[in-house]
Amino acid sequence: MNMTIVRKRASVKTVRGSDVFDWSKTDDITIPNCLVEPGGGSLSLDGRELGIMQGLTAILPPNSDVKAGDHIVYDGNTYEIDGEPKLFSLPTGTVTNMQLNLKRWQG
């Protein structure tokens, strides 16, 4: 696993009494020793516009600082984490890696 990704975490600001993500101010960290593979994809046709979802699966070191809601930058594209990160472990209980399902919509 020799790929590198960037984790972007939005700051939070209050707008009209509600906390919302502020993607103009992010906390970014570089995460080395990853593996990124093609994931699923889909096509959306609602009669007005064409939408394409590109999916990837990323395998990260188990102690990586990522959570649902973060964005991942890989190969110049920004992806959303789809669901919670999943930790995988050996039968001995040793955690071996973390899996992220990533998605990006175009169209």
Q: What is the CATH number of the domain that holds 72?
A: 2.40.10
What's the mean pLDDT in 22-36?
95
Domain holding 11, by residue range, is 3-106
- Structure-model confidence comparison of residues 66 and 48, the more confident one: 66
- What pLDDT score was predicted for residue 53? 74
Q: Which of 9-18, 37-46, 60-69, 72-81 has the lowest mean pLDDT?
A: 37-46
- How many separate domains does the chain show? 1
How much is the pTM?
0.83
- Residue 6, classified by CB atoms within 10 Å of its CB into exposed (0-12), middle (13-18) or buried (19+), is middle
pLDDT in tens, 67-86: 999 999 999 999 999 999 99
* pLDDT over threshold 70, residue 48: no
Cβ pair 42, 25 in contact under 8 A: no
